[in-house]
Amino acid sequence: MSGQMYLAYDYPLLSAFWTMLLFFLWIMWFILLFRIVADIFRDDTLGGWAKAGWLVFVIFLPFLGVFVYVIARGKNMGRREVTQARVQQEAFDSYIRETAKGGDGRPSSVDELARLSEIRARGDITDEEFRRAKELVLSGHGPSEGAGADTATSGR
């Protein structure tokens, strides 16, 4: 029993491992704390005083507050995060659609050219009418439906 007891810090590599592990867990705890604070403000079902109570609990008793919050409201926390991500994705998709249209609701020149090609493929306009309408679209002087409709009715 007179043997010397060795601890983890007696070995330099193991000491570095334990230090890195504790540092990693500390950083992960802070990430969880910030996500919980964001979730408190994101939750629309909580009233103002309930939000204030949870925030005080999480800030003044951080370890216990985070633990209790995850147990009490952890399942809905994930649902709220998924809902928010879905809303943000839908807003981004609608922004992309509006930007692709040109922002003012008019179809882009690519859409107009595709429409002109379809009209020509059906035989509603001739190649000469298609060429003139395409020049109008590419020069930016009006939509294809006006040019295509005018040339289609005047040529036949």
> For 38, how many CA atoms within 13 A lie in the half-sphere containing its CB?
11
* Total Cβ atoms within 10 A of residue 115: 17
Q: What is the pLDDT of residues 45-75, one digit of tens each?
A: 888 999 999 999 998 998 898 899 989 888 8
104/122: higher pLDDT: 122
Decide if 67 contacts 29 (C-beta within 8 A): no
Structure tokens at 47: 């009233």
Say if residue 96's pLDDT is above 60: yes
- Determine if residue 105 is left, alpha or beta; phi over 0 gives left, psi from -120 to 50 gives alpha, anything else beta: left
Share of the chain above pLDDT 70, in %: 80
Chain segment 108-133, per-residue pLDDT in tens: 777 788 888 888 888 888 888 889 98
pLDDT at 146: 46
How much is the mean pLDDT over the chain?
A: 81
State the pTM of this model: 0.52
Rounded CA-CA distance 107/102 in Å is 7
Q: 100 vs 19, which has greater pLDDT?
A: 19
Distance CA 9, CA 136 (A): 79
Answer with the residue of higher pLDDT: 142 or 115. Answer: 115
Average pLDDT over residues 17-33: 91
Torsion on CA atoms 63, 64, 66, 67, rounded to nearest 10: 110
Residue 147: predicted pLDDT: 44
End-to-end CA distance of the chain: 111
Read off the pLDDT band of 139 (50, 70, 90): confident
Q: Are 147 and 132 in contact (CB under 8 A)?
A: yes
